[in-house]
Chain A
Amino acid sequence: MAEAADLLKTPLFDLHVELGAKMVPFAGYDMPVQFPLGVMKEHLFTRESAGLFDVSHMGQAWLTGPDHATTAAALEALVPSNMKELKPGKQRYTVLLNDKGCIIDDLMVSRPLAGKDDGRLMLVVNAACKDNDYKIIAAALPENVKLEIVEDRALIAIQGPKAAEVMALHAPEAADMGFMEVRSLEFNGISVIASRSGYTGEDGYEISIPAGAAEAVAKALLADERVEPIGLGARDSLRLEAGLCLYGHDIDENTTPVEGNITFCMQKRRKEAGDFPGGERVLKQLAEGTESLRVGLLLEGRAPAREGAEIRVPGTEEIIGRVTSGGYGPTLGAPVAMGYVPSGLSETGTKLELVVRGRALPARVAGMPFVAQRYYRKPK
């Protein structure tokens, strides 16, 4: 484990310490795993009210080209999603693929609304992957599209059913945004970039803030009794209940978007053309299916099955798959997991066993999300 002194600090480090966070090393950063409320209450509070997360460890970068078509085309060479069709002010989830069609990282891409930003796309990538992502992206770009790594901004998320009403007190325009929309906003006079998205299954925003103003924004949100600071522990249980993948665990460089069951990130034009890294293989999988598939798993008992737990067919000894994420779901009040199983056993309701400490626990394949997503859809 890295020494604390070697760890990077986010612009909110001092605030975390002041709030009594338990700090742990994560992806090279000294990050809050929990606050005095504790993982369980932080999780439940986020689902009932609103939680504030520091996700400044994640990588923020701009792709900058002469116009949207050029920049989008450059990014499309690396990902299987439509980027040309991404409308101004919209955000999209996608994956960076390698030549095998496997996932190098998953990321969010935003197209700014403002005309002067035409040709710019904002990327948010995983902390542990960012250096590798940047190397791969930069190497693949044409001469007229540049990668600008953003080092001077914090990223926070406010998530939960009361996130929007609290956000609106400081940035009234945020209320008009729909799910997966992005805007440049004034938050108490501070220029921020907000997207209406997150990693909890709840309504909420991710807010990119100049580093020097991050504490002011976080404190303004935390001053509201409807908001509590939330650590990485509850972030993980929230995203697990929402059925969302954690890169490096549920999807990685050995899984394609088809195996990972995230083909929703691939739009029709790309699925037909296969014009992305590993396209031939991914198209074949789309047509013929895959050997294995990521599924949700619910256990009958109370014992959680964690990452690495073997998956078996009841009455047999053969290991047919492994749990890639698992734990206790506080909102569900039961253990939840996801993992890979042979496609023939991926049907919802299929009875399986998860091996925990040598004991085979009854489980079944379950649809995801485990807890209904509550994203904000704008009235038409």
Chain B
Amino acid sequence: MSTYFTKDHEWLKVEGDVVTVGITEFAQRQLGDVVFVELPENGKNVDQDDEVAVVESVKAASEVYAPLDGEIVEGNELLVDEPAKVNEDPEGTAWFFKMKLGNAAQLEALMSEADYKAFVETL
């Protein structure tokens, strides 16, 4: 299993051709208390950087982007009932969606955990 990160503060865990996507600890701290999550529809084909999910804090709504091309295969229903999980466990049980990898070559342009940590330091 490999883990990647994006500049939009999302993490990806790749297992075979299934990618699990969530937002990072840094992102949840920036957002503040999450009160609502809108998940993408299963079976939807998306392109990299498409807005596919929404996370709302008390303050504002923010988009969650598709980090890669592919097909959405599952949304995390836990977040619909318990949006605050995003604050508690963003890089674990509070994943947003799973997608089928459409173009593995896109992974190469993403950041490793070390690169992402260095990127966050610059913000």
The answer on a CB contact under 8 Å between A304 and B33 is no
Question: A237 CA to B56 CA in the complex, in Å?
Answer: 14
Binary CB contact string for chain A from 23 to 39 against chain B (1 if under 8 A, 0 otherwise): 00000000001100011
Query: Which residues of the partner chain A approach B36 to less than 8 Å between Cβ atoms?
Result: 302-304, 328, 335
Q: Is B61 an interface residue (CB 8 A)?
A: yes
Least CB distance from A110 to B in Å reads 32
| Given contacts A34-B32, A302-B36, A39 and B58 within 8 Å (CB-CB) | yes
Query: Which residues of the partner chain B approach A40 to less than 8 Å between Cβ atoms?
Result: 32-33, 35, 58
Least CB distance from A331 to B in Å reads 11
Query: Which residues of the partner chain B approach A304 to less than 8 Å between Cβ atoms?
Result: 35-36, 56, 61
Q: Is A59 an interface residue (CB 8 A)?
A: no
Question: A25 CA to B38 CA in the complex, in Å?
Answer: 29
Q: Is A327 an interface residue (CB 8 A)?
A: yes
Q: Is A16 an interface residue (CB 8 A)?
A: no
Q: Is A306 an interface residue (CB 8 A)?
A: yes
Q: Is A357 an interface residue (CB 8 A)?
A: yes
Q: Is B73 an interface residue (CB 8 A)?
A: no
Q: Is B78 an interface residue (CB 8 A)?
A: no
The answer on a CB contact under 8 Å between B58 and A328 is yes
Interface size class of B (residues with CB under 8 A): 10 to 19
**Residues of chain A from 321 to 375 with CB closer than 8 A to chain B in the complex:** 327-328, 330, 335, 357
Question: A164 CA to B10 CA in the complex, in Å?
Answer: 45
Least CB distance from B118 to A in Å reads 23
Binary CB contact string for chain B from 56 to 68 against chain A (1 if under 8 A, 0 otherwise): 1111110000000
Query: Which residues of the partner chain A approach B83 to less than 8 Å between Cβ atoms?
Result: 302
Q: Is B110 an interface residue (CB 8 A)?
A: no
Q: Is A153 an interface residue (CB 8 A)?
A: no
Q: Is A248 an interface residue (CB 8 A)?
A: no
Of all chain B residues, which has the CB nearest A40? B33
Q: Is B107 an interface residue (CB 8 A)?
A: no
Least CB distance from A268 to B in Å reads 40
Q: Is A233 an interface residue (CB 8 A)?
A: yes
Query: Which residues of the partner chain A approach B80 to less than 8 Å between Cβ atoms?
Result: 302
Q: Is B111 an interface residue (CB 8 A)?
A: no
Of all chain B residues, which has the CB nearest A327? B58
Question: A33 CA to B36 CA in the complex, in Å?
Answer: 20
Query: Which residues of the partner chain B approach A43 to less than 8 Å between Cβ atoms?
Result: 58
Least CB distance from A94 to B in Å reads 30
| Given contacts A40-B32, A304-B35, A357-B38, A330 and B58 within 8 Å (CB-CB) | yes
Q: Is B18 an interface residue (CB 8 A)?
A: no
Query: Which residues of the partner chain B approach A330 to less than 8 Å between Cβ atoms?
Result: 33, 35, 58
The answer on a CB contact under 8 Å between A38 and B33 is yes
Binary CB contact string for chain A from 169 to 195 against chain B (1 if under 8 A, 0 otherwise): 000000000000000000000000000
Of all chain B residues, which has the CB nearest A44? B33
The answer on a CB contact under 8 Å between B32 and A328 is no
Query: Which residues of the partner chain B approach A357 to less than 8 Å between Cβ atoms?
Result: 38, 54
The answer on a CB contact under 8 Å between B35 and A237 is no
Binary CB contact string for chain B from 94 to 115 against chain A (1 if under 8 A, 0 otherwise): 0000000000000000000000
Question: A215 CA to B79 CA in the complex, in Å?
Answer: 42
The answer on a CB contact under 8 Å between B38 and A303 is yes
Question: A327 CA to B56 CA in the complex, in Å?
Answer: 9
Of all chain A residues, which has the CB nearest B84? A40
Q: Can you report 16 residue pairs joining A to B where beta carbons are below 8 Å apart?
A: A38-B33, A41-B33, A233-B58, A234-B58, A302-B36, A302-B80, A303-B38, A304-B61, A306-B60, A306-B61, A327-B58, A327-B59, A328-B35, A330-B58, A335-B35, A335-B36
Q: Which positions in B face A, CB cutoff 8 Å? A: 32-33, 35-36, 38, 54, 56-61, 80, 83
